[in-house]
A and B are shown apart, each in its own frame.
Chain A
Amino acid sequence: MKPGSSSSHPVDITKDPKEIPGSQIPYEKFLDCIHCGLCTAACPTYLETGNENDSPRGRIYLMRAVVDQRVELSDAVRGHLDLCLDCRSCETACPSGVQYGRLIEPFRVDIQKMDARQGKSSQQDWFHRWILYRLFPYPSRIRMTLVPARVMQTLRIDKLMNALKLTSLLPDKLKRMNDLLPRLKPAEPDLPEVLPAQGTQRARVAFFTGCVSEAMYSHVNRATVRVLQANGCEVVIPKTQACCGAIHYHSGADQAALEFALKNLAAFELDDIDAIIVNVAGCGAMLKDYGHIAEEIEGVSAEHKEQLKQLASKFKDVSEFLFELGPIAPQGEIPHSATYHDACHLVHAQKVQNQPRKLLELIPGLNLIPLNESTICCGAAGSYNLTQPEMADQLGKRKLKNILDTGAQIVISGNVGCTLQIDSKLRQSHQPLWVAHPMELLDLSYRGQKPAF
């Protein structure tokens, strides 16, 4: 068939809408795109491939064409949609307010469901079943899994294994996970359920601990809580809170994601707190989207929809919250140069861009150097660096080059996924930079301590 004549492509009206991914998405959301193309250069994958099919405008066009039944969901079309990082950089660039995330996310959920019905779901493979679904959402399980890694790192067996190339015997995805594994710090004891404010109490907040971050970066969570306390916040940490469900939702397991959302609904008492603080951009973006997602998932009661919407409105990124509260200026000097990387799920999904910078500027002695392409994804994007290794590596290298060009000693990232990715790229190229969370630096400054790296 000649593509030029495709506008008169016959529509197969007998097809069950369930078999057409995206057919449940409100069609106006596609029409919001006026095809101006201003999003293209904001898209990391388009910057790499230069292929319109790998641009936001192109992907919207493809999704709409699938819904209109102008094209089949071929392997090629799927490939271009799968390559999307869901970083939402295009939403920042779009002058027409297209909600790209609300197109690609439900579209992908539909694809996953279709696959499941045809018995070829990626949800069923060993990686999704054992690693993504049964390990990642549970910090205690990750911590258990990391015990041998900690032992090996302490005894330096990991380096020996790398040197002997024994790690190359692992399946690809596990090898990549091993490469991503940072130098682990000792796990901190569990946080208590309530921590008092220092000085006059200015707010009462709950803290969302996250799963990967609590297992691998428990020290960042402790630093975050201390910074909140130093700013006069009483912090409550409900034990019954659960994973945000992002990994499940984004891989099409929307019912599992809903269960996590409902667990969190039950865990947080909304009435007597000012906000629920999140220090991981990826989780924050998901949690703030609970209201939208409840609308998209089938079988959510009206009551739950309303409650999830209210819960969603309580979540704040820690930098966003502190900036609004009015931060108490820290006094300890940190005489280093640093550069701030914008995590996609902060800058694009949550529009948090200036707040962390303003907080960091308060730290005496810290020299903040602007990072070129700071808002372009580092290639981490949740589990993307495990599922799309090639593009993840290309973007990782791009980010590394921009970071090294600044000459900074510290890279600051507000998202655990970016931290893992950037840290791994730095280690691979033997660069001694420290990848820190903004709260770690603030915490050191409040406590008058110097970083050791």
Chain B
Amino acid sequence: MVDDTSQTINLSAPVLEKLEAGSRPFSLLIQKLTGIVGKTGILYNADELLVYECDGYIVDKSAPDIVVFPTTTEQVSATVKICNEFNVPFLARGAGTSLSGGCLPIGGGVMIVLTRMKQILELNLRDRYAIVEPGMVNLHLTNALKGTGYHYAPDPSSQGSCTIGGNIATNSGGPHTLKYGVTTNHVLGLEAVLPDGTIIELGGPTAEVPGYDLHGVYVGNEGTFGICTKAIVRLTRDPEAHRTMLAVFQTIGDATRAISEIIAEGIIPSALEMMDHGIIQAVEEAFHFGFPLDAGAVLLIEVDGLEVAMDAEVSKILELCNKNNVREIQRADTPEERMLIWKSRKQAFGAIGRLSPSYCTQDGVVPRTRLPEILEFIEQTSAKYGLRIVNVFHAGDGNVHPILLFDERDQGQIQLVLEASEEILEKCLELGGSVTGEHGIGVEKINFMSRIFNETDLATMEKVRNIFNPRQICSRDKVLPPHGSGNATKVTQTHPARRAPH
């Protein structure tokens, strides 16, 4: 019954110490860290560390040696300094919802869990910003803003549990990024503890800050530039009005043409999501929403803005849908109907969990106009490998999430899933896209980096990383392939991830 198909990564980084339980340095380290965070702020017994051996990515596992729960920036800084003194690796973790192993403590070390730093330090509606601690749950910020007329725009589908700190680390997106942009467009500044323990402030609440846009550089570092301890985030006015509709198409080709034409018209929907034939059937089997089972694709279209502009935008969208052979359009005019439509989209993944014992979601990006090609390729791949693949994705961004259904107890199928995933991602690259839209590189996609970027690009990135994190003591072996290590440390997947919703 033990899941022995997973493997433990053990990439060696000789500059850092390996902690041995019971050894003198280990006891001393525990003693010093306890002095910083107190007895209730530290875990070091194996049975309580186990749950920290993986995050939302469960293919590879590696438990930390110590977990600490700091409550202030100063505690984070002091912890980091101690780690440097003892020469042990460390990394940050928020809610642990990363889908690419961003919170995987390779080689053990100290894990700094920020879930006890979750206060709103300042809400400034007139200047439209909030200062929050990194462990704040994304949705909790939006909940705290309810009734003020403002919200925090980035809304990854995991927003109910993921943290602002994690969003900054991965530059998270979400269904509404098509119009509102990703996390980096909403971070005005931040405070961080650098990998040597120094506390720095980057950017600030005002619109223009002189000097380099370092907070822009910082967002999306996947935890490799230190630990963000405060974020100044932009607050966005709630739209005065919105219109949500569901357009049913006979074929994927019609649906994607409609998408391109809507955007070419200059309309920027706040969300534009697509579900294909397979997923419509899955959702329908599980929830009985009343979707036509023979439809080729369904588009969830939402526009928002000023009330006076809405009807004109909607009629233009309807016109373009009609031009592309839309079969029917369901309007969601009441808040309840809108909730129901969004529920069908956000719970789509849950529905699959009920259909198939295991599934693996990929996260590819292609230019929007190439959507029909990639979807056709996915269909061919599905037929070639005899695997059921369904699609639900952020169509407006060209960010596809093909979901490969399989049974993880069947080794043969696992191999097919890995091969099929690889082919699909290769095709994304070939079409001028990328292998990750929003999940990050982490450890999962690290081998793709050298296929996306040439050596010069990678060397530049490494130089930037080394300015922040020269000894790679912080979140080691993430994002960039270990330098000069060739194939010796290559992580080979033996087992596809079972994946979470987006």
Is A97 in contact with B500, judged by CB distance below 8 angstroms? no
Distance of A36 Cα from B439 Cα, bound (Å): 13
B488 within 8 A of A: no
Distance of A356 Cα from B471 Cα, bound (Å): 59
Query: Which stretch in A61-69, A275-283, A412-420 binds the other chain?
Result: A61-69
* Complex contacts, B51 vs chain A, CB 8 Å: 52-53, 55, 57-58, 61-62
Is A4 in contact with B53, judged by CB distance below 8 angstroms? yes
Is B50 in contact with A3, judged by CB distance below 8 angstroms? yes
Is A38 in contact with B160, judged by CB distance below 8 angstroms? yes
A84 within 8 A of B: no
Taking CB atoms and an 8 Å cut-off, the chain B residues in 57-81 that contact chain A are 58, 61-65, 69
What string of 1s and 0s marks CB contacts (under 8 Å) between B337-356 and chain A?
00000000011011001100
B8 within 8 A of A: yes
B404 within 8 A of A: no
Given contacts A41-B140, A95-B501, contact A32 B47 (CB under 8 A): no
Is B8 in contact with A7, judged by CB distance below 8 angstroms? yes
Is A62 in contact with B69, judged by CB distance below 8 angstroms? no
Is A61 in contact with B97, judged by CB distance below 8 angstroms? no
B54 within 8 A of A: yes
What string of 1s and 0s marks CB contacts (under 8 Å) between A1-37 and chain B?
1111111110100000000000000011001101111
* Complex contacts, B8 vs chain A, CB 8 Å: 4-5, 7-8
A76 within 8 A of B: yes
Is B137 in contact with A37, judged by CB distance below 8 angstroms? no
Expressed in whole angstroms, the minimum distance between the Cβ of B442 and any Cβ of chain A is: 15
Expressed in whole angstroms, the minimum distance between the Cβ of B116 and any Cβ of chain A is: 5
Given contacts A53-B51, A76-B47, contact A38 B97 (CB under 8 A): yes
* Complex contacts, B4 vs chain A, CB 8 Å: 7-8
The one of A34, A39, A69 in contact with B161, judged by C-beta atoms closer than 8 angstroms, is A39
- Smallest CB gap from A61: residue in B: B51
- Smallest CB gap from A65: residue in B: B50
* Complex contacts, A154 vs chain B, CB 8 Å: none
* Complex contacts, A53 vs chain B, CB 8 Å: 43, 48, 51
* Complex contacts, A65 vs chain B, CB 8 Å: 50
Distance of A70 Cα from B349 Cα, bound (Å): 30
Tally inter-chain residue pairs, CB-CB below 8 A.
Answer: 152
Is A6 in contact with B46, judged by CB distance below 8 angstroms? yes
- Smallest CB gap from B57: residue in A: A35
Distance of A1 Cα from B11 Cα, bound (Å): 19
The one of A6, A37, A62, A67 in contact with B95, judged by C-beta atoms closer than 8 angstroms, is A37
Given contacts A40-B161, A50-B135, contact A11 B2 (CB under 8 A): yes
A191 within 8 A of B: no
Is A6 in contact with B53, judged by CB distance below 8 angstroms? yes
B49 within 8 A of A: yes
The one of A31, A34, A41, A72 in contact with B137, judged by C-beta atoms closer than 8 angstroms, is A41
A93 within 8 A of B: yes
B401 within 8 A of A: no
B300 within 8 A of A: no
Is A37 in contact with B350, judged by CB distance below 8 angstroms? no
Is B69 in contact with A37, judged by CB distance below 8 angstroms? no
Distance of A93 Cα from B113 Cα, bound (Å): 22
* Complex contacts, B116 vs chain A, CB 8 Å: 50
A96 within 8 A of B: yes
Distance of A37 Cα from B2 Cα, bound (Å): 21
B241 within 8 A of A: no
Expressed in whole angstroms, the minimum distance between the Cβ of B428 and any Cβ of chain A is: 23
Distance of A31 Cα from B5 Cα, bound (Å): 14
Given contacts A3-B63, A62-B50, A67-B1, contact A36 B501 (CB under 8 A): yes
Taking CB atoms and an 8 Å cut-off, the chain A residues in 50-103 that contact chain B are 50-53, 55, 57-58, 61-62, 65, 67-72, 74, 76-77, 80, 93-97
A372 within 8 A of B: yes
B83 within 8 A of A: no
- Smallest CB gap from A37: residue in B: B97
The one of A6, A37, A77, A97 in contact with B96, judged by C-beta atoms closer than 8 angstroms, is A37
Is B56 in contact with A1, judged by CB distance below 8 angstroms? no
- Smallest CB gap from A78: residue in B: B47
Distance of A32 Cα from B69 Cα, bound (Å): 29
Is B56 in contact with A35, judged by CB distance below 8 angstroms? yes
B380 within 8 A of A: no
Distance of A55 Cα from B52 Cα, bound (Å): 12
Distance of A96 Cα from B347 Cα, bound (Å): 8
Is B357 in contact with A31, judged by CB distance below 8 angstroms? yes
Is B115 in contact with A97, judged by CB distance below 8 angstroms? no
Distance of A52 Cα from B501 Cα, bound (Å): 19
Expressed in whole angstroms, the minimum distance between the Cβ of B137 and any Cβ of chain A is: 5
B494 within 8 A of A: no
* Complex contacts, A95 vs chain B, CB 8 Å: 346-347, 349-350, 353, 500-501
A403 within 8 A of B: no
B450 within 8 A of A: no
Given contacts A3-B63, A68-B1, contact A37 B500 (CB under 8 A): yes
Distance of A6 Cα from B347 Cα, bound (Å): 34
B55 within 8 A of A: yes
Expressed in whole angstroms, the minimum distance between the Cβ of A3 and any Cβ of chain B is: 4
A42 within 8 A of B: yes
B45 within 8 A of A: yes
B143 within 8 A of A: yes
Is A37 in contact with B53, judged by CB distance below 8 angstroms? no
Is B354 in contact with A97, judged by CB distance below 8 angstroms? yes
Is B69 in contact with A50, judged by CB distance below 8 angstroms? yes
Given contacts A1-B21, A97-B353, contact A34 B160 (CB under 8 A): no
Distance of A53 Cα from B42 Cα, bound (Å): 12
Is A2 in contact with B47, judged by CB distance below 8 angstroms? no
* Complex contacts, A1 vs chain B, CB 8 Å: 21, 46
Given contacts A70-B50, A97-B354, contact A4 B500 (CB under 8 A): no
* Complex contacts, B10 vs chain A, CB 8 Å: 4
Distance of A349 Cα from B1 Cα, bound (Å): 29
* Complex contacts, A69 vs chain B, CB 8 Å: 2
Is B501 in contact with A35, judged by CB distance below 8 angstroms? no
Given contacts A6-B53, A53-B51, contact A34 B500 (CB under 8 A): yes
* Complex contacts, A93 vs chain B, CB 8 Å: 160-161
Expressed in whole angstroms, the minimum distance between the Cβ of B79 and any Cβ of chain A is: 15
The one of B20, B47, B48, B54 in contact with A72, judged by C-beta atoms closer than 8 angstroms, is B47
B158 within 8 A of A: yes
* Complex contacts, A372 vs chain B, CB 8 Å: 143
Could you list some 8 contacts between A and B, CB below 8 A? A4-B10, A7-B61, A8-B4, A50-B115, A58-B51, A62-B50, A76-B47, A95-B500
Across the A-B interface, the 9 shortest Cβ-Cβ residue pairs: A36-B500, A95-B350, A50-B115, A96-B353, A3-B63, A41-B161, A3-B46, A58-B51, A37-B97
Q: Which B residues have a C-beta under 8 Å from some C-beta of A?
A: 1-4, 6-8, 10, 20-21, 43, 45-56, 58, 61-65, 69, 95-97, 108, 113, 115-116, 118, 135, 137, 139-140, 143, 158, 160-162, 346-347, 349-350, 353-354, 357, 498-501
Q: A38-B158, A58-B51, A96-B354 are in contact. List 14 more A-B contacts (CB 8 A).
A: A6-B63, A7-B61, A28-B357, A32-B353, A35-B498, A37-B158, A38-B160, A41-B137, A50-B69, A51-B115, A53-B43, A62-B47, A68-B1, A77-B47
